[in-house]
Structures are given as structure tokens and as C-alpha cells.
Amino acid sequence: MTTTSAPLPDMPGADDCAPDVQVGTIEAVQGPVIDIVCERLPPLNWGLYVTNGGERYTLEVHAELDEHRVRAIALHRTSELRRGMQVFDLGGPLSVPVGEECLGRLLDVFGAPLDGGPALAATQRRPILAPPAPLAEAASAAGVLATGIKVIDLLCPFARGGKTGLFGGAGVGKTVLITEFMHAIVKLHQGVSVFAGVGERIREGHELWHDMREAGVMPRAVMVFGQMDESPGVRFRVGLTALTYAEHLRDSLARDVLLLIDNVYRFVQAGSEISGLLGRMPATVGYQPTLLTEVAELEERISSTRSGSITSVQAVYVPADDLTDPGVSAIFAHLDTMVVLSRGQAAKGFYPAVDPLKSSSKLMSRRLLGDRHYEVAEQVREHLARYRELEDIIAMLGLEALSEQDRLIVHRARRLQRYLTQPFHVVSQHTGIPGVSVPLEQTLADCEAFLRGDHDEAEEDACYMRGAMSEAAA
């Protein structure tokens, strides 16, 4: 990996660093942790490298132990490294080659190809560690970003240029939902997508790459992967690499960019692993003491400017389905929309398995959505909430024990529940059901018809896994 990055003058000690100059020798190798005796101390987060048998091993400085030693994390396997090997200066923090030719490619944390294609031209490089956009140039979220997914657009709409989190345990459909968003942004909005696979299983990454190619999405997408078996340093930095490509596409193409991260919790786990390797004392529930800072460094760079917007959708694994876990709670404060995927919904076959009562959005106000959308969403939520309250009574005493008004609410809520399910484009080849995309105006009209009682005589199955109700009737 040859770099043309110039030293950053605002980093302490950067003026004394030059690329390909020896900075010291390896003193100890403990897994991915490398202790280096230096002639001059490189700054924190600075890139170093070691060569052995024609292979280059990249290191990143994470701690200064004393006036002559630093501790670095290797971004490669360290089985070939040993004490006494020479360590050289990379000339700056880690950087990646950028350009419009990155579209349609599958890359690693260094911007090197994983798809067997040619390497990206290194005519322009961009450091993966960078400050967020200046406050004077930042732009706030600008309205609703329609996804064509009924339950999302109706009850927890996405903000254009905002950040959305998909919270759920294992196997409730986070990756499928994220993939559908990528399809939506390319097909509906003609934007570009950047997908970050943080600690992905190689099987998932391989399947997703082929699914994207078959869906015709890849020509306007970039995929960046740091796999589960790689160094914690790779899993810790791969999200920043993907964000660097998103920033470049935002600034160069001046288009809407959809940044998808699967999974942010693995980024938190990688930071916890690195913190333990560096010898830091753990904090709450064993997480690293720098948890809030590390999450903020990633999230606050996801911003929109006058030139373009970055809309982020992030999958967040919830350990033991506990939304109060500190690693999960640290992400909450940075989000505009929170979509909670429920294991109960998935068990009933309601996909996407969005829990309409736990999910929320900061856009849910009359001023931003208008009176019609706000009132329809509130009435739908009231019907579903009342049905959930009555479920125990129905299970014990039967539907006949309810009042006539409650029975009517239950009948309509059950139809609304099924109407808010939807077949997805990206899994149509597996399910055999063609994917559908429903405009928000159609979703509102259908929900108004349910609330008025226009579909009281319809079979519940006729509402399940359909698009608009006009299609169901046909």
C-alpha cells in the first residue's frame, strides 16, 4: 500500500514525520498489539508499517508508553512479525484512494479490491480520520425521505440527511431491511449507496455482494468490508473508511448518499477489544471507558452540507434484546429515527418485523408531516396499542368478552397489522413473491380506508404481504 498523503500539520509531531523513513524497531508482539521502540515518537493514530518477505503489515499508533516507546495495533495478522524488525513511517494517518471509479466495487479497509478487479487509481487519497464538516457548512435534515416501505413511511419516517438506527436481536431481519433501503435509494431517488460491513460473516458478505449484483444495484454502490475474522483494528476502522467514501461522493457528485452500516454494535465491540488490549480499565458492564467518545467520532461525521446529503441507516445488534445495554444506549442520542425490530413480530410472520409501538421518529409532528399524515399515523398507532392491551383478555376469555367498540378496533387493528407487512425486492428470488414499493400517498389513503371501515369485510389474508389494497382487491 503506497501512500501519497502529506503529513497533517495540525497533529503534534507531524512535521518530523516523513513517509518510508524508519521510526524504530519492534520490541514485543502480543497478538495484534505491537510495542515499538522509537527514535522519535509518531503522533497518536499515525500509520506505520513493517515489511517482511514482500508483504506489508500496516500498524496504527494507539498509545505512547513512555518517551521512547509506543503501542500500536496491527491491521493484519501478526504471525510473521517478530522482535527487532524495522518499523517505517506511513507518512500520515491511514488513507484510501477515492474517485468516481469506486462505484460498483467491493473494497477493504485500505481501499484495496476484494472483488478480484483492478486496484483503484491512487491519483487522489483521503485520510479516514477527519473532523466533521464545519458548523457553518452543515445542513440540517431536510424533510422526509420516502422509502416505499409502508410501516416505515407511515409510523417512523426517515429524515433526508438524518440518521436512523435499526435495533434488534439476531435473526429478526436487520440485514434484509438495510439491503432493501439500498435498493430503494438507488431505484426511487437515483442516489448512490455506501455499504459498510463491520465484522460481517464471510458468508453474509458474499451473499449480499451477489444479491446486490443480481438486483442491479452495484453500479451505483460501494461496499466496504471488514470481516469477522480480521484484526480488531480493521473492524474498528472499516466504518470510517466507508464514511470517507460517502463524504467523497457527497462532495464530488453533490448527490444524495445513503450510508448503510451493518453492524454498529460490532464497531463498539471492536473498540472494547482494542481498549482491553491496550490495558485500559473497563467501565460500565465491561465496556471501554472511551465508549461515548468513539461512538461520537463516527456518528458526528455523518452529516449533510450544502453540496449534498448523507442519510445513514445503521443496524444495531441488541444483546439479549436489552435496549438499555450501555453499548446500545450510547448510539441512541445520535439518531433521528429509531426502528425497533421485534422478535414477537417475526415469530408471527409479520415482515418487516417492525414494532410500531416501540419505534419512533423525531419527524413525527404536525409541523413536519402535515395534519393528514400525523393524524392517520396517530390513529393507526392507537388501534394497534389498544389491540395489544386487549390481547391477554382475548386469550383468556375470547373475543366475545369485549365490547362492540373494542371488537371493531381489534378487527381493524388485525387488518392494519397485516397490511403493514410487505414483500421486499431483494429477497423476491428466495420467497417467490415479487417485491413492491408503495408511495406514501397510497399508504395514507389505504390506512384511512381501514380506519373508516371500508375494508371491514375483507379477509385478513387479503391484507397480508401485499402492496396497495387496490392490488390486493385485483
d(CA 364, CA 157): 8
> For residue 322, how far is the Cα from the chain centroid?
19
Q: Say how many C-beta atoms besides its own lie within 10 A of residue 51's C-beta.
A: 12
> Cβ distance 463 to 415 under 8 Å?
yes
230 is catalytic: no
d(CA 119, CA 131): 27
Strands 95-97 and 125-127: antiparallel
Backbone phi, then psi, for 70, in 5-degree steps?
-125, 160
Largest CA distance in the chain: 83
Strands 158-159 and 144-145: antiparallel
187 is catalytic: no
d(CA 331, CA 280): 22
Q: Is 451 exposed, middle or buried (0-12, 13-18, 19+ CB in 10 A)?
A: middle
66-90 burial code (b ≥16 CB/10 A, e <16): eeebbbbbbbbebeebeeebebbbb
> Cβ distance 73 to 56 under 8 Å?
no
Catalytic residue among 125, 150, 163, 174: 174
The amino acid at residue 292 is L
Q: Say how many C-beta atoms besides its own lie within 10 A of residue 13's C-beta.
A: 14
Catalytic residue among 40, 82, 83, 201: 201
d(CA 380, CA 415): 11
What would the grid cell of residue 113 be?
479490491
What would the grid cell of residue 64 be?
505512547
What would the grid cell of residue 220 be?
451505483
Cβ contacts of 294 within 8 Å, gap of 6 or more? 267, 268, 271, 288
Catalytic residue among 60, 200, 273, 299: 200
> Cβ distance 271 to 290 under 8 Å?
yes
> Cβ distance 198 to 267 under 8 Å?
yes
201 is catalytic: yes
> Cβ distance 388 to 423 under 8 Å?
no
**Catalytic residue list:** 174, 200-201
